[in-house]
A and B are shown apart, each in its own frame.
Chain A
Amino acid sequence: MNVIIGLEIHCQLSTETKLFCGCSTDYRNDEPNTHVCPVCLGLPGALPRINRKAVEYGLRVAKALEMEVLEESEFARKNYFYPDLPKGFQITQYDRPLAVAGTLEIEDDEGHAKSVRITRIHMEEDPGRLVHMGGGDRARYSLVDYNRSGIPLIEIVTEPDLRSPQEARRFLNKLRTMLEYLGVFDGDREGALRVDANISLEGHERAEVKNISSYKGVEKALTFEITRQRNLVRRGQRIARETRHFQEARGITTSSRSKEEEHDYRYFTEPDLRPLRVRDWLEAIELPELPVARRNRFMAEYGISLNHARTLTGDLRLADFYEQVAAVDPALAATWVADTLLGELNYRSMGIGSVPPDRFAGLLRLIRDDAITDRGAVDVLRIMLDQCSRGEACETPAEIVRRQNLGKVTDDDFSAVVRRVLAAHPQAVEDYLSGKKGALNFLVGQAMKETRGRADPKAITRIMVECIGSEGGF
């Protein structure tokens, strides 16, 4: 049974001010209801006024997704009652959205290129936010915070072109990367992206899963939903066409058929705003370098592999970071950023944003200049990341090397170590001299242990063979 998935993605646009008023959108660290005015509080008599920047951001997305921008689009009212909705309606777009008919290329589960059709994008305002005092189901009462009210959103709607939860996740990652490249979206903001997913098994009714607010959540919710629907079909039961809510904490979806959630939104044209005639703006909108172009440039300009280029350009901040440190040695930097650094960051759930590029470049220089072994460099990196994640001032790599005595051991140092090891294990030396090659590995291992990995095993081997030879069998 084929799985059919379509997504509706709501993204907060990263404009400085709200969609219909001059209030600042940078409210996340501030007290509730401090970024509000008569317009976003929906006070009687206040009127909306469109934020030109938000429209430009929407058009950037439309252009990047190769969409058709409508000659004339318009805002509409979506009417419903909810305590976080100050006007009793949301200003959104309905039958004449900003743009229609686009595509985004992704890879399917077999690694083949596939294009996902974008039905439409439209602009709308975010409602306020309810804060349940006491938490979740046990809340005794709720308070409303209107700081979020009026934050500009674009909703991106896909055709039902996705075939698996993994594909859906890849699509979202790709979309997020593109939105960040376009400079219209900041994925690090909490709640900046929310997804509704329509999912069905071919030939059956579809369910709409609402309220998914993370990338992982999308894959989880869809996987759960497919299992649920398959089980129903297996038991010969009908799949109901319904709205379901994703319970992030429990990883399940539940039916939400309570009466208050059955809506007839009574859409009609917003009479307080004029239609948008912005197709002409498109020409003036210049798209920044997008991920594929940047990937190709990385390969050409820095001579790095497709895999590295793909990894590095898969995230705007990572790509920017790479370009800040690539000058040291492009190939070395690619390996250390894409393989080592990324792994260490994932292990710590840290973002690239918390790593100072100048410090990392310093580390790369030590590696390039052979002042430190790979193993030692990893140790330095870990110490740096631990300091960064604790929010401490990060030492320079050279300081860490000095303090921890992680510098590369020189040949002179090696000789002393090797001599100590040989003296301590006469039997092994004997064995080696009598032709047992394996004994040398043991001796090298002992020496590596003593240098705590700072030494290059090849150099140790070389010195050890020299020592045994020159001292005439010891």
Chain B
Amino acid sequence: MANRTITFEPDDRWNAFITCCSRAPCGDGALAGIPVAVKDNISTRGIPTTCGSRILDGYVPPFDAHVVELLKASGAAIVGKTNMDEFGMGTTTETSAFGPTKNPCDPDRVPGGSSGGSAAAVAAGLVRMALGTDTGGSIRCPAAFCGIVGLKPTYARISRYGLIAYANSLEQIGPMARTVEEVSRLMAVISRYDPRDSTSIRRPYIHQPTTDIAGLRIGMPVEYFGEGVDPRVADTVRKAVGRLEDLGAEVEECSIPSMAYALAAYYVICTSEASSNLARFDGVRYGPAADTRKAWHDAFSEIRWKGFGREVRRRIMLGTFALSAGYYGKYYAKAQAARHNIIRDFERIFSSVDLIAGPTMPTVAFRLGEKTDPLSMYLSDILTVPANLAGVPAISVPCGTVDGLPVGLQLMGRRFEDELVVNAAAAYEERGAA
């Protein structure tokens, strides 16, 4: 428990933080005195939590998320809340109501998203560790773009209590840091069981990474190295996998045919859930107050129109449409079927390999403002969403550069085999990197 404070006054020229806590309490424990940044969609008692949105302006949660309780109990100093795409809806952190975050590797580039603030804070050395959340790649994408390590844990392994929901069935809170070792350390702190999240399972992560990967079978899905993937990125990742082979892993090609529908399924499911999750932002209980002189439905519309940004409004409307009578079967039900196909594909592949390897992102970081068309933005999530749909653990670890910009190697494992994923990443980081 907290028994002292540390001072945190960073030179945040990357706009990584929405809120900084200049004097942060900390205490004893596994993360004693370590400054940790928390993505701003994770509830922190007494510290504003905005989700990067105007609609939560002035909201100060009266309770801590489960992971925040655990951080505090481990002695960590919560030094600030990091910038993010509004409600996690974006791949660049440009949809934040608080302005875009810049990539510390190249300030003209985006840090990726939606946990761009957390990734930038770690990459710039402002903090040692950060929490992100990953609904369709939101930890791994910015980790790859900023050249750090980020783990999306197995679905159900980390309590979501206190995480302001974007797409409940897909998202997980996860650790981000500069090294696999540090990611593993943070993972061990946040993976304690919490009965308040009914979807979570008691599977604590108690693990010291090892780097012996001899005999590990690694599958490389053809879909991860084909169309839409920058060939230079694909080459960099192929070489990285080659290094794992040098370390004793057995590498084989495989295929995930259901990938063809992954992105469509993902966007239908996440927007559907989001359209419902975001219904509570109506100006009645918190955030900017609705104009109560108007009829309540007019007041609700007005506050939601003003409070949500363009991309959030777009996704609310997409999700509302997908769930509507007469369209549910065509969209939502089909998306669930596609999701089951992906789960089955992963199960099939994991019956013959231990890990799946590929690039985290099809390209390196975009320039700020480069992606203006939502569809091309959505397409860049193609390599990360399958792990969310299947609920499997996935890590992104830096594996080289293209044009001087970081490339991430993505490793995915069986459900609840986060430890194996971490081991392989640690092996690459320690012994594989040239």
Contact B323 A268 (CB under 8 A): yes
Q: A43-B62, A81-B282, A268-B276 are contacts. A50–B324 as well, Cβ < 8 Å? A: no
Secondary structure at the A interface, as helix, strand, loop or mixed, is: loop
Are A45 and B163 in contact, CB atoms less than 8 angstroms apart?
yes
Partner of B164, one of A45, A260, A273, A274: A45
- CB interface residues, A 255-280, toward B, < 8 Å: 260, 264, 266-268, 271-274
The B283-320 residues at the A interface (CB cut-off 8 A) are 284-286, 292, 296-297, 300, 320
CA distance A266 to B275 in the complex (A): 10
Q: Which of B167, B168, B199, B297 contacts A274 (CB 8 A)?
A: B199
Does B273 sit within 8 A of A, measured CB to CB? yes
Minimum C-beta distance from A279 to chain B (A):
19
Contacts A86-B280, A266-B320 hold; do A274 and B198 have CB atoms under 8 A apart?
yes
Q: Check if A44 sits within 8 Å of B43, measured CB to CB.
A: yes
**How long is the Cα–Cα vector from A47 to B158 in the complex, in angstroms?**
14
Q: Are B196 and A47 in contact (CB under 8 A)?
A: yes
Contact B198–A47 (Cβ < 8 Å) = yes
- Contact present for B61 and A45 (CB under 8 Å): yes
Taking CB atoms and an 8 Å cut-off, the chain A residues in 19-71 that contact chain B are 38, 41-50
**Chain B residues numbered 18-58 whose CB sits less than 8 Å from any CB in chain A:** 42-43, 49, 51, 56
Measured between alpha carbons, how far is A266 from B162 in the docked complex, in Å? Answer: 25
**Number of residues from A at the complex interface, CB < 8 A:** 31
Cβ contact within 8 Å between A38 and B63? yes
Could you say which residues of chain B place their CB within 8 Å of the CB of A89? 276, 279
Q: Which residues of the partner chain A approach B145 to less than 8 Å between Cβ atoms?
A: none
A-B pair count, CB < 8 Å, reads: 105
A273 vs B197: C-alpha distance when bound (angstroms): 8
Q: Does B325 contact A (CB under 8 A)?
A: yes
Q: Tell me if A81 and B297 are in contact (CB < 8 A).
A: yes
Closest to B168 in A: A271
- Chain A 133-155 interface mask (CB, 8 Å, partner B; 1/0): 00000000100100000000000
Contact of A264 among B59, B168, B324 (CB under 8 A): B324
Could you tell me the distance in whole angstroms from the C-beta of A20 to the nearest C-beta in chain B?
A: 9
Q: Bound state CA distance, A141 and B198, in angstroms?
A: 38
A343, CB-defined interface residue at 8 Å: no
A273 to B199, CA, bound (A): 6
Report which residue of A87, A88, A89, A141 has the largest number of chain B beta carbons within 10 angstroms of its beta carbon. A88
A89 to B164, CA, bound (A): 16
User: Given A38-B63, A49-B195, are A79 and B279 also a contact pair (CB < 8 Å)?
Assistant: yes
How would residues 77 to 90 of chain A score, 1 for a CB under 8 Å from any chain B CB and 0 otherwise?
A: 10101110011110
Q: What B residues does A141 contact at CB under 8 A?
A: 292
Q: Are A86 and B168 in contact (CB under 8 A)?
A: no
Determine the chain A residues whose CB is within 8 A of the CB of B43 once the complex forms: 44-45
Bound CA–CA A171/B429 (angstroms): 72
Residue with the highest number of chain B CB atoms closer than 10 Å, among A42, A48, A83: A83
Smallest beta-carbon distance A256→chain B, Å: 15
Q: In terms of DSSP, what is the predominant structure of the interface of chain B?
A: loop
- Asked if B161 is an interface residue, CB under 8 A from chain A, the answer is yes
> Contact between B198 and A266 (Cβ–Cβ < 8 Å)?
no
A77-B276 contact given A41-B285, A272-B198, CB 8 Å threshold: yes
A261 and B88 CA atoms in complex are apart in Å by 32
A47 near B276 with CB under 8 A, answer no
Chain A 243-260 near chain B by CB (<8 Å), digits 1 or 0: 000000000000000001
Please, what's the 1-or-0 string for B151-186, where 1 marks a CB less than 8 Å from any CB in chain A?
Answer: 000000000111111011100000000000000000
| B198 touching A49, Cβ below 8 Å | yes
The size of the chain B interface, using a CB distance under 8 A, is: 46
A368 to chain B, nearest CB (A): 58
Instruction: Give residues 367-405 of A contacting B (CB, 8 Å).
Output: none
Instruction: Given A43-B286, A266-B323, A271-B169, check contact A88 B161 (CB 8 Å).
Output: no
Q: Taking CB as reference atom, which chain A residue is nearest B194?
A: A47
Among A44, A46, A266, the residue within 8 A (CB) of B324 is: A266
Q: Which residues of chain A have C-beta atoms less than 8 A from B292's C-beta?
A: 141
With A81-B282, A81-B297, A86-B280: A45-B161 Cβ-Cβ less than 8 Å: yes
Q: Does B272 sit at the interface, judged by CB under 8 A? A: yes
A259 to chain B, nearest CB (A): 9
* CB within 8 Å for A268 and B198 given contacts A79-B279, A144-B284: no
Chain B residues with CB below 8 A from A86, complex form: 280, 284-285
Task: Determine the residue in chain A with the shortest Cβ distance to B273.
Answer: A271
Contact (Cβ within 8 A) B168 A44: no
CB distance from B364 to the nearest CB of A (A): 33
Which residues from A are CB-within-8-Å of B195?
Answer: 49
Residue pair B161, A46 in contact (C-beta under 8 Å): yes
Our pick among A46, A49, A266 for the contact of B276 (Cβ within 8 Å) is: A266
Q: Find chain B residues with CB under 8 A from A266 CB.
A: 275-276, 320, 323-325, 328
**Across the interface, do A42 and B280 meet the contact criterion of CB distance under 8 Å?**
yes
CB distance from A273 to the nearest CB of B (A): 5
Cα distance, A267 to B59, chains bound together (Å): 29
B199 and A268 within 8 A (CB): no
A88 touches B280 (CB 8 A): yes
Give the residues in chain A near B399, CB-CB below 8 Å. none
Is A48 touching B198 in the complex (CB atoms < 8 A)? yes
Task: Please give me the residue from chain A that is nearest to B287 by CB atom.
Answer: A44
Within the complex, the shortest CB–CB distance from B62 to chain A, in Å, comes to: 7
Name the one of A87, A267, A271 contacting B199, with C-beta atoms under 8 angstroms.
A271
For A87, what are the chain B residues with a Cβ–Cβ distance below 8 Å? Answer: 279-280
Partner of B280, one of A44, A48, A50: A44
Render B197-217 as a binary contact track against A, CB cut-off 8 A, 1 for contact: 111000000000000000000
Which one, A47, A48, A88, contacts B279 given CB within 8 A?
A: A88
B332 in the interface (beta carbon within 8 A): yes
B282 touching A272 by the CB < 8 A rule? no
B279 touches A81 (CB 8 A): yes
How close is B195's CB to chain A, nearest CB, in angstroms?
7
- 9 closest cross-chain pairs (CB), A and B: A88-B279, A266-B323, A271-B168, A271-B169, A44-B164, A45-B162, A45-B43, A88-B280, A45-B164
Interface of A with B (CB < 8 Å)?
38, 41-50, 77, 79, 81-83, 86-89, 141, 144, 260, 264, 266-268, 271-274
Q: Can you offer 22 A-B residue contacts whose CB atoms are under 8 A?
A: A43-B62, A44-B61, A45-B61, A45-B165, A46-B162, A47-B160, A47-B198, A48-B198, A49-B195, A49-B198, A88-B276, A88-B280, A88-B281, A264-B324, A264-B325, A266-B320, A268-B328, A271-B167, A271-B273, A272-B168, A273-B198, A274-B199
Question: 8 more A-B contacts (CB under 8 A) besides A45-B161, A266-B325, A272-B199?
Answer: A43-B286, A45-B42, A47-B160, A79-B276, A88-B281, A264-B324, A268-B272, A272-B197
